[in-house]
Amino acid sequence: MSALIILLVSCNNGSADAVKNAKKENQEKIDSQSTTQQRIDSTAVLPSTAVPPSKADADFMVNAASGGMLEVQLGQLAQTNALNPRVKDFGAMMIRDHGEGGKKLAALAAAKNITLPDSISNRQQKEKDRLQQKKGAAFDEAYINMMVDDHKKDIQEFEREATNGTNETIKAFASSNLKMLHTHLDSSLNIQKAVSRKMPVQVPAPIN
């Protein structure tokens, strides 16, 4: 009985990671499709528009989905925890833009038979939990710093997919979102200057 209790506790403490699970499921689908195609005709060459998504394509969509969900959830958090009106407005923009982007991504994933996560990753949840503990000016700075970093990474991932992706439809989706991501980055950088609490270095007065 004691061993059973320990097992149950350990299971509850280690909740499943939705992002990892989605990537694993997609990998299994891709492996199965690849095996089936090889059995049908190992010499067939599909046109570029018909090339099925690769693992990299699927991983990109999973990451984009979890990242978009995080942006929406943190934008909602900004509505209650932020002090600066510009931070609240930025959060509202995240809710609107990434919410719409998530709908388009879900439709594309359904068309391509790609599984998307239904929640953010465990790592992202920890980031959200830490940010949720902050209020006012402390929240403003931490949130905007996170948004700057996140959107820099997003732009790199979307540019990589737009250039190197194997499926033309997914590549087009990545390319079409770059303008929005650059707009978000520019906005977050401008707000970052306004809410930064770092004081300028004080130069000591010369001693006469």
Domain boundaries along the sequence of the chain: 52-195
Q: What is the pLDDT of residue 26?
A: 82
CA neighbor of 67 nearest in space, from 128, 113, 16, 140: 128
* β-pair partners for 101: none
Residue 97 vs residues 29, 60, 116, 127: alpha-carbon distances, Å: 30, 18, 18, 21
CA–CA gap between residue 64 and residue 57 (Å, rounded):
11
Contact (CB, 8 A) for 115 and 31: no
Q: What is the pLDDT of residue 136?
A: 96
The token pair that represents 136 in the structure block: 């006012």
Is the pTM value of this prediction over 0.85? no
CA–CA gap between residue 57 and residue 98 (Å, rounded):
19
**CATH architecture of structural domain 52-195:** Up-down Bundle (1.20)
Residues of the chain with pLDDT under 50: 1-14, 40-41, 43, 46-49, 199-203
Q: What is the pLDDT of residue 198?
A: 56
CA neighbor of 158 nearest in space, from 101, 91, 99: 101
CB burial of residue 118 (10 Å; 0-12, 13-18, 19+): exposed
Q: What is the pLDDT of residue 18?
A: 87
